[in-house]
Amino acid sequence: MRRRIDPELTRRARELRNNPTPAEQAVWHRIARYRPAFTRQLVVEPFIIDLACRQARLGVEFDGSHHLDALDADTRRTQYLKAQGWRIIRLWNSDVLANPDGAALHILATAAECLGGTHPQPLPSREGRERRRRFD
């Protein structure tokens, strides 16, 4: 039988999803179209992962300056998630904002590594296809 997720965690994840940090938003706009699929604010009780790829079991945490005071808590959190089978990478918000393309490439490369070297592919492009007219 599957346990229900704590409604408070679900509410908090929804709130975070609706109010992303600039770093989360910058990476999400670059990574959302790739496969395997990524999701924002995934609840893995008792935590919420900022950005996650379920298929690769990869979690990405975007850390701001407030995390300097919470290094022990972040370490415990990472160890717990690793014990649950997740690989966690942490990126500083300032680094992501300075180089969002590089951050996205790093995340995609790590996801590919987690999947055994399969490179995540973008959805097929519509380049070279003529658009059909809907109405004559």
pTM for the structure as a whole: 0.74
Nearest to 113 by CA among 60, 61, 57: 57
pLDDT band at 35 (very low <50, low <70, confident <90, very high): confident
Q: Of residues 2 and 108, which shows the higher confidence score?
A: 108
pLDDT given at position 57: 93
Q: What is the pLDDT of residues 85-104, one digit of tens each?
A: 999 999 999 999 999 999 99
Q: How confident is the model at residue 24 (pLDDT cuts 50, 70, 90)?
A: very high
Closest CA to 38 of 49, 54, 26: 54
| Domain spans in the chain, listed from the N-terminal domain onward | 20-121
In CATH, the number for domain 20-121 is 3.40.960.10
pLDDT of residue 36: 82
